[in-house]
Amino acid sequence: MSSSPLPDSDQAPLQALLPDWVIPVAPAGVCLSDHAVVVQGSTIAAIVPVASLPSAFPGIATERLAGCALLPGLVNLHAHAAMSLLRGYADDLALMTWLQDHIWPAEARWVGAEFVEHGTALACAEFLLGGVTTFNDMYFFPDAAARAVLASGLRAVLGITVLEFPTAWAADAEGYLSQGLGVRDALRGEDRLGFAMAPHAPYTVSDETFRQVMTFADELDLPVHLHVHESRQEIDDSLTRHGVRPIERLARLGVLGPRLIAVHAVHLERGEIEAFARLGVSVAHCPHSNLKLASGIAPLAALRAAGVNVGVGTDGAASNNRLDLLGEMRTAALLAKGASGEAAAVPASEALHLATLGGARALGMGERIGSIEVGKQADLITVRLDTLECQPVFDPIAQIVYSAGREQVHDVWVAGERLLRRREAQRLDLAAIRASASLWGERLRRAV
């Protein structure tokens, strides 16, 4: 931990945030009391003992964050943000029944630019209130999603979604690629937006399209965001159609590697876990969605023991139904303990890493976000630990993972900009977003 020199007069002013605890995530397991985080513009300028502030930064503006822990903004590694408008639309169904008989028909009828913009706005509001500062999205009309994200002030990595069959967004794989890449080109200058190649799944994307996707990913230096090994049926169908499990097919096509974010990865054999570790594949673990769709429990303890980088995601609200990353983090830790029979399989500090730096590294953003370190972006949140539900506090990290809920998120900054102040949104009109979601709900109910 170190401080930076005082800024020149023409630079952004300094501000010191004084929480009860600073949880930087890197180094792992560290919790600092009586420390301040100094922010200058969009970046973290220093992490210093409170007692040294007057001499190190004379006259600096300070804000006391009593009863709060300050930690990095949460990174949601897998979302379908616009599907917030389908929350509760088709519950208690197996994955393929849910997709083929309910979600895909609903999307065919309703999804367009307006649906995506309004649904993404609803998701951004929920993310903000739950401490998510960055999310990795996969959906149609990324230009419409971008409008909602930019209005919210959050960060997002928008997927260039690719399928072989037509939707309202594109007619075929070539159309998805050309339109998605066009959106990326148009928005490349937006600092809070990134892009990823997002082939939907092995069962909806051809070999030739995967080859094209990887060519673009390599040329443009983009991550690859892909559902894989989510259900046993997916694996059985691949064995019938291709003669190999999906991961073997992807390996032959050159998809496995450090660009790949393997979403779900529930049904893995030991050799596949070893291949992920050897090749630098990251996994987006979505425990609530996997449980709700009865897809299974991903082998998180085995993945981490092998050295695989893992982040957590919410999936979409249509299959979850909460975009609650603190809840996903807690469930991930508890499931890993129960499934492995080891109480220490994923300790609290590791669980917090999954929801922050693990996701940031998977997105290729680990040098910018995911931890409180000098020079990184000031993507920060506070979590109140002075509430009745969190008393007493013996270990603040464990308290955040096992006791606190998203309603304890008190403040949110992205790139030093305060987006949530004491639970009050600073940019978003939450009443208008709620009203829009209600109107969409009425439209969909009348159509059923």
Q: What pLDDT sits at residue 93?
A: 87
Of 149, 359, 195, 146, the residue nearest 261 (C-alpha): 359
**pLDDT, position 99:** 85
What does the pLDDT read at residue 8?
A: 41
Report CA Rg, the chain: 21
Domains of the chain, CATH where assigned: 14-72+377-415 (2.30.40.10), 74-362 (3.20.20.140)
- Rounded to 10°, the helix 113-129/142-152 angle is 30
> pLDDT, tens digit, for every residue of 421-448?
999 999 999 999 999 999 999 999 887 6
What's the CA gap between 164 and 208, in Å, rounded?
A: 11
**CA 125, 129, 134 angle in degrees (round to 5)?**
75
Residue in the block written with tokens 């630019």: 113
Arithmetic mean of pLDDT, 138-155: 98
C-alpha 152/C-alpha 50 separation (Å) is: 32
Euclidean distance between CA atoms 108 and 246, whole angstroms: 27
Among residues 436, 352, 358, 447, the alpha carbon closest in space to that of 131 is found at 352
* Distances from the Cα of 389 to the Cα of 185, 240, 274, 385, 397, angstroms: 47, 51, 41, 8, 15
For the chain, what percent of residues have pLDDT higher than 70? 98
pLDDT per residue as tens digits for the range 18-53: 999 999 999 999 999 999 999 999 999 999 999 999
**Average pLDDT score over residue span 204-226:** 98
Token pair belonging to 65: 């964050």
Question: The pTM is what?
Answer: 0.96
Predicted confidence (pLDDT) per residue in 258-289, tens digit: 999 999 999 999 999 999 999 999 999 999 99
CA terminus-to-terminus distance, the chain: 57
pLDDT value of residue 448: 67
Across the range 58-69, mean pLDDT stands at 97
Structure confidence at residue 421 (pLDDT): 98
Whether residue 325 is predicted with pLDDT greater than 90 in this model: the reply is yes
What are the φ and ψ backbone dihedral angles of 263, each rounded to 5 degrees? Answer: -85, 130
Where would I find the H helices in 37-103?
A: 53-56, 95-98
Closest by alpha carbon to 96, among 208, 17, 186, 201?
Answer: 201
Residue 252: its pLDDT value, please? 98
pLDDT in tens, 373-397: 999 999 999 999 999 999 999 999 9
What pLDDT score was predicted for residue 1? 37
Quote the CA–CA distance of 134 and 79 in Å, as a whole number.
11
